[in-house]
Amino acid sequence: MVERTLAIIKPDAVKKCVIGDVIQRYEAAGLDPIAMKMMHLSKSIAEGFYAVHRERPFFHDLTTFMSSGPSVVLILEGENAIQVNRDLMGATDPQKAEAGTIRAVHGASIEANAVHGSDSSETAKFEIGYFFPGMDFHAGR
Ligand code: IDP
Ligand code: MG
């Protein structure tokens, strides 16, 4: 099924100048960018995005990190895009991520792990609406 997922190239990856490399990996995996913007998330925008994690001990550090510099926010579209992107990203902790995944290649720590990807269709819908309000979720490329 053709799906859409929300991806973020996080501030650590932008600082490392690997935006192009990450996007190339998306395209090579059949994940077509259909919307994209660079933005410096404020602390409160990061908190709203990660609201599901607000009770976690790492919430403050995570939202501080996510607002520490510009990110690139994208909608990716493709066959099974949500799972394909999760597999391409690798495990949350780059040290545990499979070799060749984006996090294994570019992630520095469990926090600064280079990329975000929606983890379910419900999450994708919320996250796409959060950053691209008003975009027709079902429109084709
Ligand atoms: P995911 O990004 O692989 O879906 P989540 O558990 O949803 O992982 O966590 C969201 C983000 O919070 C992670 O990508 C990472 O940046 C950060 N994070 C997760 N677990 C930890 C932790 O134990 N310490 C610090 N940061 C964490
Ligand atoms: Mg997650």
Reported as a single tens digit per residue, the pLDDT across 54-83 is: 999 999 999 999 999 999 999 999 999 999
Which atom from ligand 1 is nearest to the alpha carbon of 116?
A: 2
Asked whether the beta carbons of 16 and 103 are under 8 A apart, the reply is no
For this structure, is 40 an active site residue?
A: no
Q: Residue with structure tokens 């929606």?
A: 118
Which atom from ligand 1 is nearest to the alpha carbon of 91?
A: 3
Reported as a single tens digit per residue, the pLDDT across 83-106 is: 999 999 999 999 999 999 999 999
136: confidence class by pLDDT, cuts 50, 70, 90: low
Give the predicted TM-score (pTM) of the model.
0.96
Instruction: Supply 133's token pair.
Output: 């309000």
Q: With b meaning 16 or more CB within 10 Å and e meaning fewer, what string describes 14-32?
A: beeebbeebbebbeebebb
Residue whose CA is closest, atom 26 of ligand 1? 111
Asked whether the beta carbons of 46 and 39 are under 8 A apart, the reply is no
